[in-house]
């Protein structure tokens, strides 16, 4: 292996820079050249890249965002766009590609692999929705930001005897909501995975309010509904003040936690080693604390369910 390409794609996630650094430096340590395509698959299709060497990735480990920038590429979703991307890989004499991103990006990587390009992914998305991994890069930072915010909101909820609905990110996945709720002692969590009924929620809140517990924190994954709507509904149906807070993009930015820095570094290294060993169609990440190469097709087609022991724990302690 002499020369590889890499890119970051989909929503940015804290730790992507650490992964870029690990990929570039692992390649450099093997005497392999690395080029970084800019703006995700758009840069691959348009052949826009920068040379990455051991020095050019200095000082990025602790930075949020991605120095290569990221994008959601409509062009790459077309067969024509992907054929053009494969041609760019060939023209640049690349022996393989490292795709740093979430389930969509890895699906794209799988399809690029079908066109004959060796592709290894690095599991990176705040949504934690790739099957086969403990956690994906960016998730831990996002949850910690949510925890910090909910701790602050709790002060307001207690001082004013208010109910708060806090909406956290997670397109079709309630992982951030579940772990943020557990870590902040929130009363209720609403996720796309766990069925819930609004009338039952209202009954529970009503009983609590009657028992003089007037402040509540409800953590809601964006995939489970809209915080504003639920907040209005609660205010209209119960004798309590309810407010909504949508945490939004603050969860995607900022310096990665120690966990995400190390996960990104080990996964980035593993991806380059895997490409060098001839692997393709796999995504690097950790399972049970150890580096694994998960088959891409399975990673993107199987659902990454909420950790059942955490769901049970929440039921037990959020009473
Ligand atoms: N089915 C697909 N076929 C081809 N390319 C795809 C496909 N799905 C996604 N992609 C490519 O990957 C890009 C990123 O995908 P997506 O927007 O789903 O983000 P992601 O990688 O899942 O990350 P996140 O969910 O954290 O934002 C898309 O914009 C597109 O270019
Ligand atoms: O950055 P965009 O395109 O607004 O997408 C937001 C989505 O990206 C994520 O932050 C990561 O997939 C989701 O949680 C959210 O639904
Ligand atoms: Mg995704």
Q: What is the CATH number of the domain that holds 47?
A: 3.40.50.450
| Residue 236 lies inside a defined structural domain of this protein | yes
Q: How many angstroms separate the alpha carbon of residue 104 from the centre of ligand 1?
A: 3
Shortest-distance atom of ligand 2 to CA 13: 11
CB 246 within 8 A of CB 219: no
Q: Report the residue among 70, 102, 127, 246 best suited for mutation to probe ligand 2: largest number of ligand atoms under 8 A from its CB.
A: 127
Q: Is 315 domain-assigned?
A: no
Task: Give percent of the chain above pLDDT 70.
Answer: 100
The reported pLDDT for the residue numbered 123 is 98
Atom of ligand 2 nearest to the CA of 173: 14
Q: Is 161 assigned a catalytic role?
A: no
What is this model's ipTM? 0.99
Report how far residue 139's alpha carbon sits from residue 199's, in angstroms, rounded to the nearest whole number.
32
Same domain, 115 and 179: no
264 in the same domain as 134: yes
Last residue of a domain, one of 195, 219, 252: 252
| CA atoms 225, 226, 229, 231: torsion sign | positive
Domain tally for the chain? Answer: 2
Taking the C-alpha atoms of residue 245 and residue 145, their distance in angstroms, rounded to an integer, is 14
Q: Mean of the per-residue pLDDT values for the chain? A: 97
Going by alpha carbons, the residue nearest to atom 16 of ligand 2 is 171
Residues 7 and 86 in one domain: yes
Whether residue 271 is found in the same domain as residue 132: yes
CATH for 202: 3.40.50.460
* End-of-domain residue from the set 234, 252, 270: 252
| 73 and 53 both lie in a single domain | yes
Residue list for the binding site for ADP: 21-25, 154, 185-187, 213-215
- For residues 159 and 128, membership in a common domain is answered with no
Domain shared by 64 and 170, yes or no: no
> In terms of residue numbers, what domain contains 171?
140-252
What's the pLDDT at 93? Answer: 98
Does a structural domain hold residue 319?
no
| 17 and 127 housed in the same domain | yes
Pocket, ligand 1, Cβ cutoff 6 A: 9-11, 41, 72-73, 76-77, 101-105, 107-108, 111, 125-127, 171
| pLDDT band, very low/low/confident/very high, at 211 (cuts 50, 70, 90) | confident
pLDDT, residue 250, reads 98
**Residue 36, beta-bridge partner list:** 6, 50
Per-residue pLDDT of 132-144, as tens digits, reads: 999 999 999 999 9
Reported confidence tier of residue 277, pLDDT bands at 50, 70, 90: very high
Tell which phi-psi region holds residue 34, choosing left (phi > 0), alpha (psi between -120 and 50) or beta: beta
User: Residues annotated in the binding site for Mg(2+), as ranges?
Assistant: 103
Tell me which ligand sits closest to the C-alpha of residue 124. 1
Q: Please state the residue numbers annotated as binding site for substrate.
A: 125-127, 162, 169-171, 222, 243, 249-252
Per-residue pLDDT of 103-117, as tens digits, reads 999 999 999 999 999
Q: Flag whether 309 is in a domain.
A: no
CA distance 13 to 8: 9
Residue 74 has a pLDDT of: 98
Ligand 1 centroid to 105 CA: how many Å?
4
Q: Domain check: are 11 and 110 in the same one?
A: yes
Name the token pair of 113: 């692999």
pLDDT for 214: 85
Q: Are residues 155 and 207 in the same domain?
A: yes
Residue 12 forms part of a structural domain: yes
Per-residue pLDDT of 55-97, as tens digits, reads 999 999 999 999 999 999 999 999 999 999 999 999 999 999 9
Q: Within a domain: residue 313?
A: no
Say how far apart CA 316 and CA 235 lie, in whole Å.
27
pLDDT at 212: 84
Q: 236 and 153 in one domain? A: yes
Q: Is residue 207 part of a domain?
A: yes
C-alpha dist (Å) from residue 100 to 5, 22, 121, 217, 251: 11, 12, 6, 34, 18
- Torsions phi, psi for 3 (to 5 deg): -155, 130
Report whether pLDDT(260) > 90.
yes
Give the pLDDT of residue 254: 98
209 — pLDDT class (breaks 50, 70, 90): confident
pLDDT digits (tens, 9 = 90+) for 1-27: 999 999 999 999 999 999 999 999 999
pLDDT at 139: 98
Residue 82 CA, ligand 3 centroid: distance in Å: 19
Nearest Cα to Cα of residue 166 among 225, 231, 220:
220
Q: Which of the following is catalytic: 42, 127, 140, 260?
A: 127
Q: Are residues 35 and 73 in the same domain?
A: yes
318: in domain: no
The pLDDT assigned to 210 comes to: 84
- Residue whose CA is at the smallest distance from ligand 1 atom 18: 104
pLDDT of 176 higher than 90: yes
pLDDT at 213 over 90: no
């Amino acid at each position: 292996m002499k020369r590889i390409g890499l890119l970051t794609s989909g929503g940015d996630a804290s730790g992507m820079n650490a992964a870029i650094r690990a990929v570039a430096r692992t390649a450099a340590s093997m005497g392999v050249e690395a080029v970084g395509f800019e703006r995700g698959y758009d840069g691959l299709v348009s052949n826009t890249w920068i040379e990455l060497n051991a020095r050019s990735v200095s000082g990025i480990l602790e930075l949020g965002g991605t120095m290569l920038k990221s994008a959601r590429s409509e062009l790459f979703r077309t067969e024509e766009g992907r054929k053009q991307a494969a041609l760019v890989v060939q023209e640049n004499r690349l022996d393989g590609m490292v795709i740093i991103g979430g389930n969509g990006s890895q699906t794209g990587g799988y399809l690029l692999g079908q066109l004959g390009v060796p592709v290894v992914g690095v599991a990176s998305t705040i949504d934690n929705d790739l099957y086969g991994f403990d956690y994906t890069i960016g998730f831990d930072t996002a949850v910690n930001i949510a925890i910090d915010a909910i701790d602050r909101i709790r002060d307001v909820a207690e001082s004013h005897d208010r109910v708060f609905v806090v909406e956290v990110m997670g397109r079709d996945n309630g992982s951030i909501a579940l772990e943020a709720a557990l870590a902040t002692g929130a009363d209720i969590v609403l996720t796309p995975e766990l069925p819930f009924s609004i009338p039952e929620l209202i009954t529970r809140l009503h009983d609590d309010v009657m028992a003089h517990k007037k402040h509540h924190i409800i953590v809601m994954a964006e995939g489970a509904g809209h915080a504003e709507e639920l907040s209005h509904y609660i205010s209209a149906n119960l004798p309590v003040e309810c407010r909504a807070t949508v945490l939004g993009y603050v969860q995607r930015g900022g310096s990665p936690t120690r966990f995400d820095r190390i996960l990104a570094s080990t996964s980035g290294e593993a991806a380059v080693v895997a490409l060098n060993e001839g692997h393709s169609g796999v995504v690097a990440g950790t399972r049970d604390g150890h580096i694994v190469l998960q088959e891409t097709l399975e990673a993107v087609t199987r659902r990454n369910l909420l950790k059942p022991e955490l769901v049970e724990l929440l039921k037990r302690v959020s009473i």
